[in-house]
Chains A and B, each alone.
Chain A
Amino acid sequence: MLRSLKGLLCRPLKDRGFALHTAAKDRVSSLLTQDVQTAPERPRAVFYTNENDPANHAEQHEGRLYSIPLDELKTVFPHGLPYRFQQQIKTFNEACVMVRKPALELFTYLRNTNFAHPAVRYVIYGERGTGKTMTLCHLVHYCARQGWLVLHVPDAHLWVKNCRELLQSSYNKERLDQPLQASSWLKNFKTSNERFLKEIKTQKQYMWGRRDRTEAGRPLAEVVEQGLARVRNASDAVGVVLKELKQQSRLGPFRLLVAVDGVNALWGRTTLKKEDKSPVAPEELTLVHNLRKMLMNDWSGGAAVTTLSQTGALFKPSSAYLPQELLGKEGFDALDPFVPIPVPNYSPREFESCYQYYLQRKWLQHEKAHTEAGKEELRFLSGSNPRQLDRLAGPL
């Protein structure tokens, strides 16, 4: 009950004023029984839920927020949370994620997957700021709790733009390496999947350059160490990791989840240039090439969930959000067949819950924000878009 005590600390004089949501409407079990003496009406408003395990999230929890313990956050999400959400975590000292319908849909699909069949690919799409990345994070948390091996690529757009160093790959002369991005990704991968790396063994021998090599049967952790130590080989290390995981997920005791945010970056254009100022195609980047292979449906024993993102997309109009537009023909054919999952703006109930959360955390300081009229105004001005609401509520 660590969370409940933390809840006590964070909210000293909390919901005495919240006579609105009385016990009559309450379906959530009152966790803080010891708190009953101080606040007779149940301490958390209807928009919270105490189910911290995403596995148990069901329809009745839709529209409610659940929080992730902060230490779990560090292992599960070393990278991958949106920047604004990270700031919110720091401010509120807790990470509250809303349970929404697309995520619940994905959970049912994942529960019912047949792991003998080739991996199903899911594409989460929607307009800007509707919560695609957050849905992906919710899913990652769920899979981490379930004990899957999570391969989380926080934003594929980072691999195709703003890269300072491009080395020619030693493995394949035509390709280009990105040591910095690869090494940072390996570091984060290590923190999130430590125990798996010790268990999984390599099946082939790999040569790094002329001197170093990794024998067959060594734990994957060694490959990762090699990649981190020798930054030049980092991209190749990533490639090796991906290949091994792909081969072993079919047989191995673990399930593999490939979670890629901003998958449309893999098939678009890059802003990188070679030394002779000619543009680089995405295929020429090792990381992208390997990731593309991962997203093929020729492996089994897991699932691949991807998100489309217009925000970092290069050379695409800002009004594009459908898979067809953002992936382009090439990407669409590569990912076809996939299960599309649209993410809409907040429903009235979800909006209510988000608004109450902000109120309760005393994020909305303006006196008018507490009124009904203020709520309507926020609803109108944000258009029930999560990102707009977040940005609007900031200065208030």
Chain B
Amino acid sequence: RLICTTTARQRKNVGASGPEKYTEAFIKNQIEEFNLGKRHLANMMGEDPETFTQEDIDKAIAYLFPSGLFDKKARPMMKHPTEIFPEQRKIQWGEDGRPFHFLFYTGKQSYYSLMHETYEKLLNAQKYQDQLIAQDLPPQKKKRNLAGSRWLTKIELEEMLLEKLSDNDYSRFILLLEKLMTLPCGDTEEKYVQKFSKEVPVQLQKVVIEPLKYDERGVAFSTGEGGRKTARATAVVYDNGTGKITVNGIDILHYFPVLQDREQLLFPFQFLDRVGKHDMVCTVSGGGRSAQAGAIRLASAKALRSFVTEKEVEFMRQAGLLTPDPRVKERKKPGQEGARRKFTWKKR
């Protein structure tokens, strides 16, 4: 009976529970079956088996097994076994019971080995710096783009090491990396550190403001689209106007008899102090009265961005004029009368 199974068995997530189910031979089998299946599928769909990509597989499966389930992960899928079966740790000890890794008995072998390697790099870097100082050369500092990258999260690190970490461990590791970053490093150290950092898109979805267009009369105009609940609207805002607004060919006084809706339409113009200066022609469909008013408001605010300076665009964004309202009708649940309303409670 092997004595050292106790610590290994406690960890369920990655590792111990694995080896019985997902042996290497099993995974290899799965990969072979997957490849064969891929070729069969390609033949079925009439495509070339050699150039059948994962996207094609997904499309084919969606076509052959249409599913109405809402959760994408519940639908039938055919992916490479490495994506389906999570990586499992292989057995850490040999036939004689001796573990392979020298840090096995610490319990968190990969974590400590990682710390060990990183610290080694740190010491090398310090030695290098000492050498530079000894040679009276100024310490070089390479600027790294801190804004564009981030460290791996704890979960990502766990996945990489295939073992569980505690928050403390994780923070210590990150501190060590930070310390390493402050020193001038050579190329190998750069590559090592890059393994633990990830690119972050610098400006998430920088919105491009379209320039003004000019129609035949020479009047500047711009378009915008917006939606609210189920209503969708497009607005075309013209310059040099008198404040006339037409919705689906009808004047707003007739289309929106309620004051509240007209106030909603007024808001973007009033915010920018341009109440009587623009004409607008909109089309709207779907939704109810308030939803249509909200949709037109968003569309007109988006269209007005082209007429206005960047600072004012920022003001508009902060005022909430450019944010689509995410509220939609909540689903009715079974056992209740509505989304939240329960049936009348009877004591007996």
Q: Which of B251, B270, B273, B275 interacts with A383 by CB under 8 Å?
A: B251
The segment from A35-43, A307-315, A373-381 found at the interface with B is A373-381
Q: Which of B252, B254, B266 interacts with A377 by CB under 8 Å?
A: B266
Q: Is A319 an interface residue (CB 8 A)?
A: yes
Give 10 closest A-B pairs by Cβ, nearest first.
A376-B275, A383-B253, A376-B276, A381-B262, A380-B266, A380-B275, A380-B243, A385-B253, A377-B270, A381-B266
- Inter-chain CA distance A388–B252, complex, in Å, is 13
- Inter-chain CA distance A392–B253, complex, in Å, is 13
Min CB gap B244→A, angstroms: 9
A-B contact pairs, 10 of them (CB 8 A): A373-B270, A373-B273, A373-B275, A376-B243, A380-B266, A380-B275, A380-B276, A381-B259, A381-B262, A383-B252
Q: Is B170 an interface residue (CB 8 A)?
A: no
- Known contacts: A380-B243, A380-B262. The answer to whether A388 contacts B275 by CB under 8 A is no
**Contact between B254 and A319 (Cβ–Cβ < 8 Å)?**
yes
Q: Which residues, 379 to 394 on A, are CB-close (under 8 Å) to B?
A: 379-381, 383, 385, 388, 392
Q: Which residues, 253 to 292 on B, are CB-close (under 8 Å) to A?
A: 253-254, 259, 262-263, 266, 269-270, 273, 275-276
Measured between beta carbons, the chain B residues less than 8 angstroms from A373 are: 270, 273, 275
**From A373, A383, A392, residue with most partner B Cβ within 10 Å:** A383
Residue of A nearest to B265 (CB): A380
- Inter-chain CA distance A373–B271, complex, in Å, is 10
Give per-residue flags for A361-381: 1 if the beta carbon is below 8 A from chain B beta carbons, else 0. 000000000000100110111
**Interface residues of B: mostly helix, strand, loop or mixed?**
helix
Measured between beta carbons, the chain B residues less than 8 angstroms from A380 are: 243, 262, 266, 269, 275-276
Measured between beta carbons, the chain B residues less than 8 angstroms from A376 are: 243, 270, 275-276
Q: Which residues, 320 to 379 on A, are CB-close (under 8 Å) to B?
A: 373, 376-377, 379
- Inter-chain CA distance A380–B251, complex, in Å, is 12
**Chain B interfacial positions (CB closer than 8 Å to A):** 243, 251-254, 259, 262-263, 266, 269-270, 273, 275-276
**Contact between A379 and B243 (Cβ–Cβ < 8 Å)?**
yes
- Inter-chain CA distance A376–B252, complex, in Å, is 16
Measured between beta carbons, the chain A residues less than 8 angstroms from B273 are: 373
- Inter-chain CA distance A134–B312, complex, in Å, is 45
- Inter-chain CA distance A377–B273, complex, in Å, is 10
**Contact between B254 and A379 (Cβ–Cβ < 8 Å)?**
no
Min CB gap B252→A, angstroms: 7
**From B243, B252, B253, B262, residue with most partner A Cβ within 10 Å:** B253
- Inter-chain CA distance A380–B252, complex, in Å, is 10
Measured between beta carbons, the chain A residues less than 8 angstroms from B243 are: 376, 379-380
- Inter-chain CA distance A381–B259, complex, in Å, is 7
Measured between beta carbons, the chain B residues less than 8 angstroms from A377 are: 266, 270, 275
Measured between beta carbons, the chain A residues less than 8 angstroms from B269 are: 380
Min CB gap A360→B, angstroms: 22
Measured between beta carbons, the chain B residues less than 8 angstroms from A388 are: 253
- Inter-chain CA distance A385–B252, complex, in Å, is 12
**From A319, A379, A380, residue with most partner B Cβ within 10 Å:** A380
Residue of A nearest to B243 (CB): A380
**From A376, A377, A392, residue with most partner B Cβ within 10 Å:** A376
Residue of B nearest to A385 (CB): B253
Residue of A nearest to B254 (CB): A319
**From A319, A373, A381, residue with most partner B Cβ within 10 Å:** A381
- Inter-chain CA distance A118–B275, complex, in Å, is 50
**Contact between B276 and A381 (Cβ–Cβ < 8 Å)?**
no
Min CB gap B276→A, angstroms: 5
